[in-house]
Amino acid sequence: MLEAGLEITMSEDLRDLRSMLAGGEPSLLLTELERADEWEGWQLVTELRDQGMDLPVLVMSGAGSGEDAVAAFKAGANDYLSRPIHTGELTCRILNLLILSGRRRKNHLLKIDGLILDPSCRHVNRDGNQLKLTGKEFDLLYYLAAHAGQICPRTEILQQVWGYNFEADTNVVDVYIRHIRLKVDKGYRNKLIHTIRGTGYVMRASHGDATC
């Protein structure tokens, strides 16, 4: 979870979980369940939400069925991920929940070669120059920055940024890449966004790595 800028606290049972949550409001609750609808902790989640705690819940499950996912959402989950877990996808889903819930704090930034992304207020600047991006442009740029140095296939970008869970015949990724290149790379010697022909894109700094 370090890539998402989070500290991890583990809990093995409901009593310990209740005590932990009573001590402070966490950014997110990540649960690993065999069957989502059989977890007794949903009652605790409901109680805390009724008391005013805004608690995003992401379920990881071994069931991996549509029925189990539906049961998880009906029980109170905000997102669902079946095993085997892809660590990049898990990180992006966590970041997405934090952004949607407003839990992404200002001191957890992504920085790469003069580019700074602040998901708490969705601000972007490069070398001190404020960049104006649309919401989806920010999501795409943040996804690339969070995976700096890694090749991001178009299909994976479509799934993680647009939520397409199927093979979509669309050039939307390429169109948005052109838009953000004009805003992020135009006029700079060091280009951050690079095309991997036939595959997708990668954000690569001239030196150093992306940091949170």
Q: What is the pLDDT along the chain (212 residues), one digit of tens a residue?
A: 444 556 678 887 888 888 887 766 677 899 998 888 888 899 999 988 887 777 889 999 887 788 889 999 999 999 999 888 887 788 888 888 877 766 554 446 788 889 999 887 788 999 989 999 988 899 899 999 988 889 999 988 988 888 776 566 678 999 999 999 999 999 998 999 999 999 999 999 865 444 44
- Return d(Cα 71, Cα 65) in angstroms, integer: 10
pLDDT of residue 165: 60
Q: Residues 12, 37, 29, 91: what is their CA dihedral angle, to the nearest 10 degrees?
A: 110
- pLDDT for residue 89: 82
pLDDT at 103: 56
**CB-CB contact of 75 with 36 (8 Å):** yes
Q: Determine the Cα–Cα distance for residues 60 and 68; give it in Å rounded to an integer.
A: 11
Say how far apart CA 58 and CA 98 lie, in whole Å.
Answer: 11
| Residue 140: both structure tokens together | 């795409």
**What CA–CA distances, in Å, run from 178 to 44, 49, 181, 184?**
46, 42, 5, 10
